[in-house]
Amino acid sequence: MRRFWGRDGNGTSDEALLAGIAIGDDRAGVVFVRRYQQRLFGLALAILGDAGGAEDVAQEAFIRIFRHAVMYDPRRGPVPSWALTITRNLAIDALRARRATPTDPSDRVFLELMSTERRPEDVALSTDALVPIRAALADLPLDQRRAVVLAAVYGRTGAEIAEAEGIPLGTAKGRLRLGMARLRQATVMEATS
Amino acid sequence: MSGYVEGPRQCEAVQDELAELALGAVSGRRRAELLEHTGSCPRCLAELERLSIVADTLLQLAPRAEPPLGFEMRLAQRLQASAGTHRADRSRRLAALCAAAVVTLVFGFGLGALVVHRSGDSQVGSATANLTAAKLSSHGQVLGEVMISAGKPAWMFMTVDAGAWSGKVTCEVTLADGKVDVTGVFDLAGGYGAWGALLTAPAGQVRSARLVTAEGTVLASAQLPV
């Protein structure tokens, strides 16, 4: 089975860029930053809600990615997942360090994530691999979609979701479990079709 | 161990929480207990891996946003400051990656270029203009890809993602004058591997690359465009 290798119109895979960064190729670093800065900054902004904090997090994420490029193991997941997970964890740490209120579920970015609509620029930039999961997320019942997005993107635990939504802990956990099961099923079906 | 169920019911109890674990919504002792189980249960581990892929992919749905003006300039400054702190650690890791190469470490990832260039596809394209790629194949079957950068330093990156061979392989490149250079010895696992290495010869001199087993069998080769 051929595995997915991230690349863009330049034909340079993400993995090749990381190898170049690890070796000290400055051009590989430039291309990588250009390729990922909107994604990392966008995710950090979605979680933190302010541009200054998001820039700080996105830059720290790049520093960690560059520092650990030599350790990257493609078998543990594609580069976009690796880079975005680093960014997410840094953003959530920053949020907790400043004891800020997690992003309000009425926030514009949260609503965008929850929406079944896609912005034209995201349509142009998204890879085909994201289409099935985006569709599956849109098909989830609203309460399950909220729970999954709050946990996956905003790092909220079952207990935090229960408190925020005013529901019993078991209900919050159930929404997460059912929502993820449906997403997994949808992506498995896509992979085998 | 609270919540930890021994015996046949263990998987059933754990599977109810795998989605939360994959989402990073379980912490502390319970997380350790769940990971302990998945570490010894292939079935639950496989399910956790599938759910983790879903969780990771969800992050890619976050909307992109243009960073504030000057983002690259400030990042370059931070990278420069970070370079001094981590140069020693980095040297050790790089030496592990390029075991066969004599490494002159260049740390400072595009600092000059990041400062000089503005965002734009044309600049991104020029930054990769010196990359050459070729398919790595065996008996007509494509097994992977070789990419060679003519930058300073010159380097190569190879991916193998098909086939079934496992074990140590030597990567050799043949130069224009017929000389063969060994760029490194690497591991393949089930036909899969990816690595990068510095080139000791100029990138433009490389005509082909091949993977050779310890017994001398050529697993795959690639012809670089001249």
Q: Which long-range contacts (CB under 8 A, 24 or more apart) does A65-70 make?
A: A65/A18, A65/A21, A65/A32, A66/A21, A66/A29, A66/B79, A66/B82, A66/B109, A67/B82, A67/B86, A67/B89, A67/B90, A69/A18, A69/A19, A69/A21, A69/A22, A70/A22, A70/B90, A70/B93, A70/B94, A70/B96, A70/B97
- Answer with the residue of higher pLDDT: B112 or A110: A110
- Asked if A111 and A82 sit in the same domain, the reply is no
On whether residue A2 sits in a domain, the answer given is no
Q: Do the Cβ atoms of A59 and B71 come within 8 Å?
A: yes
Q: List, as ranges, residues 107-136 from B with C-beta within 8 Å of A.
A: 107-114, 117, 119, 121, 123-125, 127-128, 130-131, 133
Judge if A46 and A120 occupy the same domain.
no
CB proximity A149 to B under 8 Å: yes
Cα gap B22→B42, rounded to integer Å? 16
Q: Are residues A91 and A119 in the same domain?
A: no
Query: Do A174 and A134 fall into the same domain?
Result: yes
- Mean local confidence (pLDDT), A30-48: 92
Give A-chain residues touching B60 at CB under 8 angstroms: 39, 80-81, 84, 126, 130
Q: Which residue of B has its CA nearest to A160?
A: B25
> In this model, does residue A65 exceed pLDDT 80?
yes
In angstroms, the first-to-last Cα distance of chain A is: 15
Return the ∠ at Cα A125 (arms to B77 and A95), rounded to 5°.
Answer: 50
Of A24, A67, A81, the CB nearest to B57: A81
Give A-chain residues touching B54 at CB under 8 angstroms: 133, 180, 183-184, 187
| Domain boundaries, given as residue ranges, for chain B | 10-59, 71-125, 131-223
- Identify whether A1 is part of a domain: no
Closest to B176 in 3D by CA, of B156, B204, B218, B152: B204
B58:A148 CB<8 A: yes
For chain B, give the percent of residues with pLDDT over 70. 74
- Structural domain harbouring A153: 104-193
Structure tokens given for A10? 């330049």
Residues A16 and A55 both lie in one domain? yes
Helices (H), B98-137: 111-116, 121-127
Say yes or no for a CB contact (<8 Å) between B147 and A43: no
Both A89 and A139 in a single domain?
no
Q: Which of A100, A128, A152 is the last residue of a domain?
A: A100
Whole-number average pLDDT of chain B: 74
Going by C-alpha positions, the residue among A117, A108, A178 that lies closest to residue A147 is A178
Interface test with A, best of B60, B78, B93, B136 (most A CBs within 10 A): B60
Q: Which of B54, B89, B111 sits opposite A133 (nearest CB)?
A: B54
Residue A5 lies in a domain: no
Average pLDDT over residues A102-106: 55
Among B64, B192, B197, whose Cβ lies nearest the Cβ of A122? B64
B131-223 maps to CATH 2.60.40: yes
Which of A100, A120, A153 terminates a domain? The answer is A100
More confident residue, B71 or A8: B71
Q: Which residue on chain B is closest to A191 by alpha carbon? A: B50
Nearest CA to B106 among B87, B124, B92, B93? Answer: B87
DSSP string, A79-92: HHHHHHHHHHHHHH
Residue B123's pLDDT is 36
Mind listing the pLDDT tens digit for each residue in B91-127?
A: 444 444 433 332 332 333 333 334 333 333 333 333 4
What span, in angstroms and rounded, lies between the C-alpha atoms of A125 and B18?
A: 31
Listed in order, strand segments (DSSP E) in chain A are none
- For B83, which residue in chain A has the nearest alpha carbon? A67
For an interface test with B, which of A13, A14, A30 has the most B Cβ atoms less than 10 Å from its Cβ?
Answer: A30
Report the run of H or E that residue B171 belongs to, with start and end: strand B167-175
Query: Which pLDDT tens digit goes with each residue over A79-97?
Result: 999 999 999 999 988 988 8
* Domain boundary residue, one of A70, A100, A130: A100
- What pLDDT digit, counting tens, does each position of B168-204 carry? 888 889 998 988 888 888 888 777 777 777 888 888 8
Give the confidence band of A19 by pLDDT, cuts at 50, 70, 90.
confident
Q: What ipTM goes with this model?
A: 0.82
Which of A25, A59, A129 minimises the CB distance to B149?
A25
Q: Which residues of chain A have a CB within 8 Å of the CB of B66?
A: 38, 41
Q: Closest Cα to residue B17, out of B5, B25, B9, B6?
A: B25
Are residue A92 and residue A123 in the same domain, yes or no?
Answer: no
Q: Which residues of B touch A161 (CB under 8 A)?
A: 25
The reported pTM is: 0.66
The residue type at A163: E
Domain membership flag for residue A158: yes
Min mean pLDDT across A102-116, A140-154, B147-161 is at: A102-116
B30-52 tens-digit pLDDT: 888 888 889 889 999 999 999 99
Mark whether A90 and A153 lie in a shared domain.
no
The DSSP line for A11-53 is --BHHHHHHHHHHT-HHHHHHHHHHHHHHHHHHHHHHH--HHH
Counting the structural domains of chain A, the total is 2
Tokens 């997090």 locate to A57
Is residue A88 included in any domain, yes or no?
yes
Q: What is the CATH classification number for the domain harbouring A38? A: 1.10.1740.10
Q: Say whether residue A128 is in contact with chain B using an 8 A CB cutoff.
A: no
Counting every residue written for chain A, the total comes to 193
In a domain, A181, yes or no: yes
B191: alpha, beta or left? (left if phi > 0; alpha if psi -120 to 50)? left
- Of the CA atoms within 13 Å of residue A144, those in its CB half-sphere come to 17
Q: Whole-angstrom Cα distance, residue A172 to residue B150?
A: 54
Question: Distance from B195 to chain A by nearest Cα, in Å?
Answer: 7
* Residue contact B82–A51, C-beta within 8 A: no
Asked if A167 reaches chain B (Cβ–Cβ under 8 Å), the answer is no
Phi, psi of B147 (to 5 degrees): -130, 130
Which positions ≥6 away from B201 have C-beta within 8 Å?
B154, B173, B175, B179, B181
Q: Do both A94 and A116 map to the same domain?
A: no
Whether A171 and A118 map to the same domain: the answer is: yes
